[in-house]
Amino acid sequence: MTDPLIFRTTAGEDAPAEAEPAGVTPAAAGSGTPFRRITVGIDFSPASGYALELVRTRFPGAQVRLLHVTDARALTAPDLGGGVIPTGPNPALLQSLEDADAGGLTRLAQDGEETELLVGDPVTGILEASERWGAELIVVGTHSRGAIEHFFVGSSAEKLVARSPIPVLTVRLPREAQGR
């Protein structure tokens, strides 16, 4: 059985060529995967850690950039209309968040992997940074949220899929690992 995440981009002389998935253009003929530049969205959750490990094992040889966006909305408070109200700039708090996030990214990165830390809206930050870097695939972990939390907060992964011109692979944490 063929691994559904590994795409064959060339066929041997005697083997018939396999069809590419719809909308996927091989970027690296003969490399075993059409994705040479992969952005992995990191939020330090078990799901994003699992997504990173999947990229490392399923896309060997790809350039990998770990990307974290310090959520600027952490400096806001909810309002009654469902939006948020800025609580005022607190440079010390923002710097503390950035320092902690930068340390976390450094610990996760392996030799040869790049990191990038941004501040702002996570969805917009991941999309803009991925396009700027020339990513061919964005990989993010997904979270199991309850219906009420999903209604109020939404899903960053869903928003990425809906807005991205770059293919997005969402990775769900296996059920046996969700209870840990």
Q: Which of 7-11, 127-131, 139-143, 146-150 has the highest mean pLDDT?
A: 127-131
Whether this model's pTM surpasses 0.75: no
What is the predicted pLDDT for the residue at 160?
A: 92
Neighbour count for residue 98 (Cβ, 10 Å): 15
**Ranges of each domain in the chain:** 37-173
What is the predicted pLDDT for the residue at 19?
A: 40
Residue linked to tokens 């997005």: 168
The span from the CA of 120 to the CA of 86, in Å, is 13
DSSP tag of 92: H
Query: Are the C-beta atoms of 123 and 131 separated by less than 8 Å?
Result: no
What is the predicted pLDDT for the residue at 77?
A: 61
What is the predicted pLDDT for the residue at 18?
A: 42
What is the predicted pLDDT for the residue at 144?
A: 67
Whether residue 31 is predicted with pLDDT greater than 60 in this model: the reply is no
What is the predicted pLDDT for the residue at 70?
A: 84
Whether residue 56 is predicted with pLDDT greater than 60 in this model: the reply is yes
The span from the CA of 53 to the CA of 66, in Å, is 12
60-70: per-residue pLDDT in tens?
A: 999 999 999 98
Average pLDDT over residues 3-11: 44
Strands 137-142 and 37-41: parallel
77-124: per-residue pLDDT in tens?
A: 666 676 656 565 567 777 777 888 888 899 999 999 999 999 888 999
What is the predicted pLDDT for the residue at 84?
A: 59
The CATH H-level superfamily of 37-173 is HUPs (3.40.50.620)
Q: Which amino acid is at 128?
A: E
Quick one: residue 77, left, alpha or beta (phi over 0 = left, psi -120 to 50 = alpha)? Answer: beta
What is the predicted pLDDT for the residue at 101?
A: 83
